Amino acid sequence: MKNVFLTAGLISLFSISAYAQNPVLQSGTVTKGHAGMWTSQGVIQDAGPKTGGGPNVGISDLPLLGTGTPLCIYDAPVTNSLGSHVLCLGANDGEKGLINYFASGAATPLPLKLCANGSCFDFPFTGMGAGNVMGSAPTNMTDVACFNNTVGTLIKSCGGVTANAGSLAATAAIAAAQFNLTTVPFATRAGNAHSLYDYDGAAAIVMYGAANGNVNYFIGDSHIWQNNSGVQMAALSGAGLFQANAVTTNGNIQSTGGNILACASPCETTLTTTGNVAATGSITGSFVGSTGSINSNTFINAAQYNLRGAVFAEMDSSATRTAIYDVGNNQGIVLYPNGFNYYQNTEHYFRARPSLGGTTYAIFNGHGTFNITTTWQEISDDNVKQNVAPYSVGLDKLVTLNPVSFQYIQPPNARADPNPFAASAAGKTLYGLMASNVKPAIPEMVSTATFQTSVGTPTPPVDTLNNGHLFWVIVNSIKELNTRLLAVETAAGVQKK
């Protein structure tokens, strides 16, 4: 540390070495202890007292260069046996400016007093108040400190943490039996539980410790979960559990008094669990990967059901059809709301249960319809029939029918398809009767039907034939021919053997 001692002798020595060829002239009287200053070339005079002495009096420039604290002021000589107090100033101590006040030697340390416009403060703080902060003493050790003026220089006690004293910040614990927001309770500790309160001051969340089973109670008519963007992710109420996104759990999901709804309508959220899902009400959602059971006392709603990770059944988003899939992920059965059902595969088997031997009763495929007895049975007991009357249509009508060969017309597109068999019979030559030929002769054989196209739209009405009815017309025709034959034989004298 450099010690600066400004004396008239040093200044004179400097002047002589710099201007040895010219004499230095003294102007005016001098006072012992005052510094000298140049007034013009070769002229020096008394610089005046340390407090200044009027215009143009006093040293105007005292350059002190260097890092650290190049200027230090002592209240006693450095050789004083009792030590001294030192105040040092530095423009750059290597990191920042520095004011350093300390006791040297055997001197007793003193505080540093800073004064501005008549207000003085001692450092380190030794004034009134808890923690040596300037201001009035608090009434309680846990009171909150707040500003006591509008310029932020004084503080005072503002009472306990329930006071509306602005913001409260701490790097250590804040101890209280209750925290309030304004005057409404926010958090309390009572008995074995911590409680958080809602806006109306009612307990909303009650949390128990290990002594009470680590149970938390969420109390309210409904509970909403949102993401950081304010989008609702889930809701829980007496109506059930509503979930906007996937739910994953390794435990059980159970409702003993309501429904479980995994999403809002339309429901396409996935619920994945390795436990069980059970409710006394309905269960709605998409459940995937559950190694447990799914039980409901009413019904289970889902956009899709999977079996071991593969799609089993689903309803399309527009709710126009329901599809049941085979193990190859192909739609095997498609059900439409107007009663039209599609059974889609190359063959369809109707069998008895395995416990009954698994006997095949009937087969439907592209070649025809087959059954185990080769015939189709109908109920014909006299006890189940009424309004019985003879049916006499016979030979005269039968001979007007003209069998033909034909092929089904292929529609330009699926929506224009009035015939559900057209695509399957493309290019095939079939045999039968024309409805327009049958209707005038045997109208009871002709009916009108509406089918459904391959895209699920109804077809225009088309005529259909009950070819089985023709059997009874043939029976009557044979009987009529037999009567004629007997008459011929009688006229010819042919005797029956």
Residue 296 within any structural domain of the chain: yes
Q: Within this chain, do residues 272 and 311 fall inside the same structural domain, yes or no?
A: yes
Does any domain span residue 467?
yes
Q: Is residue 246 part of a domain?
A: yes
The total number of structural domains in the chain stands at 3
Encode the chain (497 residues) as per-residue pLDDT tens digits: 344 444 444 444 444 444 455 788 888 888 877 777 888 888 888 877 766 555 556 666 666 666 777 788 888 888 888 899 999 888 888 788 888 889 988 899 998 888 888 878 777 765 444 344 555 555 566 566 777 777 565 677 766 554 444 566 665 666 677 777 777 888 888 778 888 888 888 888 888 888 777 888 888 887 787 778 877 777 777 666 666 655 556 566 666 556 666 554 444 455 566 566 666 666 666 555 445 566 666 666 666 777 776 788 888 777 777 888 888 888 888 887 776 677 777 788 788 888 878 788 788 777 777 777 777 778 889 999 999 999 999 999 999 999 999 988 877 665 556 676 766 677 789 899 999 999 999 999 999 988 766 666 677 888 999 998 999 999 999 999 999 999 998 888 887 76
To which H or E segment does residue 475 belong? helix 470-491
207: number of Cβ within 10 Å: 16
Range of 445's domain?
393-478
Residue 410 lies in a domain: yes
Asked if residue 333 and residue 235 are part of one domain, the reply reads yes
Tokens of 306: 């999977």
Residues 321 and 272 in one domain: yes
Q: Is residue 160 within 8 Å of residue 176, measured between CB atoms?
A: yes
The reported pLDDT for the residue numbered 24 is: 84
Q: Which two tokens stand for residue 52?
A: 């200044």
Integer Cα distance of 131 and 191 in angstroms: 34
Task: Work out the angle at residue 375's Cα, subtended by the Cα atoms of residues 373 and 381, and round it to the nearest 5 degrees.
Answer: 105
Pair (187, 209) in one structural domain: yes
Q: How far is C-alpha 280 from the chain's CA centre?
A: 27
Contact by Cβ (8 Å): 170, 186: no
pTM for the full predicted model: 0.40
Q: Give the Cα separation of 94 and 77 in Å (integer).
A: 28
Tell me the C-alpha distance between 288 and 278, whole Å.
15
**Can you give the pLDDT at residue 266?**
47
User: Which residues have a Cβ under 8 Å from the Cβ of 206 and sit 6 or more positions away?
Assistant: 193, 194, 195, 196, 216, 217, 219
Residues 406 and 299 in one domain: no
Residue 192 in domain: yes
In this structure, is residue 251 part of a structural domain? yes
The 8-class DSSP code of residue 12 comes to H
Q: Which of 305, 325, 342 is the last residue of a domain?
A: 342
Judgement on whether residues 248 and 312 belong to the same structural domain of the protein: yes
Tell me: do 208 and 243 sit in the same domain: no
Domain boundary among 309, 342, 375: 342
Q: For residues 245 and 290, state if they share a domain.
A: yes
Does 454 lie in the same domain as 439?
Answer: yes
Q: Name the strand (E) or helix (H) holding 324.
A: strand 322-325
Closest to 422 in 3D by CA, of 446, 403, 405, 406: 406
232 and 335 belong to one structural domain: yes
321 and 237 within one domain: yes
Last residue of a domain, which of 161, 193, 218? Answer: 218
> Is the domain of 250 the same as that of 199?
no
Q: Is residue 12 assigned to a domain?
A: no
Residue 158 domain-assigned (yes or no):
no
Q: What is the DSSP string of 36-105?
A: EEEEETTEEEE---TT--STT-S-S------SB--EEEESS-TT-TT-EEEEEEESBSSSS-EEEEEEET
